[in-house]
Amino acid sequence: MKIAVCPGSFDPVTYGHIDIISRAANLFDRVYVVVLPNQRKKSCFTVEERLEMLREVLAHLDNVVCEQHEGLVVEYAQSRGAIAIVRGLRAVSDFEFEFKMASMNHHLDPEIETVFMMTSNEYSFISSSAVKEIASFGGDVSKWISPSVAERLKERIGTRKGLNP
């Protein structure tokens, strides 16, 4: 069985993430989507909330399992028997960071490949941060996140003054 891991912050999950995960689910027998608490970014939702949203929007994909992990992605991938880490690439600006991560992960375990997927054109400019920023100004984000996620984001923004995405 060919297993892949799609790691990320998913704060919150967007149609850009769903696109990459669905395409990975077509290529691999099983895909583990793993939520990692990202120390580089201030989060809007807890890890548990992010997981709940992921499970909701990915419920139609039977070979996708959503989990959380604190620690190295490579360790998580090893524990699940994964052969690949799948990451999405939006723009050249993603490349430098992704290149470093992939190289480090390769050093940690050379048997686990990092696979990059190009974003679909319509999602190339979407990020969780942009969605949060637009939503915090009352903008329409319905093209980029599911209705249930949009509802939660609206509630969260309503309760938190001056959201800092």
Give the nearer residue to ligand ADP in terms of CB position, either 19 or 109. 19
The β-bridge partners of 31 are 4, 64
8 near ligand ADP (CB under 6 A): yes
> Is residue 30 within the footprint of ligand ADP (CB under 6 A)?
no
To ligand ADP, the closest distance from the beta carbon of 135 in angstroms equals 16
Half-sphere exposure of 15 (CA within 13 A, CB side): 16
DSSP state of 71: S
Of 15-23, 54-62, 103-111, 132-140, which part binds ligand ADP (CB under 6 A)? 15-23
108-141: b (≥16 Cβ within 10 Å) or e? ebeebebeebebeeebeebbbebbbeebbeeeeb
**Amino acid identity at 128:** S
Instruction: Report yes or no: 88 and 20 within 8 Å, Cβ to Cβ.
Output: yes
| Minimum CB–partner distance for residue 132 and ligand ADP (Å) | 11
Site string for ligand ADP, 45-84 (x = CB under 6 A): ----------------------------------------
Nearest distance from C-beta of residue 127 to ligand ADP, angstroms: 5
